[in-house]
């Protein structure tokens, strides 16, 4: 029962171009969404988040878009840099629920080519 799905296991883009990472979810009770970035042999690090009351949140080169009707969110990185090469995890939570826990997708490996 995979409630958060990242259907692209990998993505390769050229330096300076836009990277778009996608995530779909099935649980309509989710009200908070986060993106994490993970380098090899390190733990995931928080990147950006969005509440279900918004459809866009921007932080520097990173923008997250939320389409609640489609149960879809995406992370845009513009411009992409070689240092952005990492695994990106989408995560979702129901903060209004009895217990808060993050449900993660399986990740997308982003490779930014110089």
Partner 1 sequence: DTAVSQTPKYLVTQMGNDKSIKCEQNLGHDTMYWYKQDSKKFLKIMFSYNNKELIINETVPNRFSPKSPDKAHLNLHINSLELGDSAVYFCASSQGGGVYGYTFGSGTRLTVV
Residue 69 class from Cβ within 10 Å (0-12 exposed, 13-18 middle, 19+ buried)? exposed
Q: How far is the CB of 75 from partner 1 (least distance, A)?
A: 14
- Measured from the CB atom, the residue of 25 and 89 that comes closer to partner 1 is 89
Q: How far is the CB of 106 from partner 1 (least distance, A)?
A: 5
Is residue 29 within 8 A of residue 97, CB to CB? The reply is: yes
- Measured from the CB atom, the residue of 9 and 82 that comes closer to partner 1 is 9
The C-alpha atoms of residue 41 and residue 96 are separated, in whole angstroms, by 33
- Measured from the CB atom, the residue of 79 and 102 that comes closer to partner 1 is 102
Q: How far is the CB of 86 from partner 1 (least distance, A)?
A: 13
Asked whether the bond before 79 is cis by omega within 30 degrees of 0, the reply is yes
- Measured from the CB atom, the residue of 8 and 45 that comes closer to partner 1 is 45
- Mind spelling out the 3-state secondary structure of 33-69? EEEEEECCCCCCEEEEEEECCCCEEEECCEEEEEECC
Give the footprint of partner 1 on this chain (CB under 8 A).
Answer: 2, 32, 34, 36, 41-46, 49, 87, 89, 93, 95, 99-104, 106-107
Q: How far is the CB of 41 from partner 1 (least distance, A)?
A: 7
């Amino acid at each position: 029962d995979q409630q958060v799905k990242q259907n692209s296991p990998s993505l390769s883009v050229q330096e300076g171009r836009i990277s778009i990472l996608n995530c779909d979810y099935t649980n309509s009770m989710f009200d908070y969404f986060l993106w994490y970035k993970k380098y090899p042999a390190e733990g995931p690090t928080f990147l950006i988040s969005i509440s279900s009351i918004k459809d866009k949140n921007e932080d520097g080169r990173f923008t997250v878009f939320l389409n609640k009707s489609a149960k879809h969110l995406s992370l845009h990185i513009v411009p992409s840099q070689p240092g952005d090469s990492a695994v990106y995890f989408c995560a979702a939570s129901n903060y209004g629920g009895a217990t808060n826990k993050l449900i993660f997708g399986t990740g997308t490996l982003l490779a930014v080519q110089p």
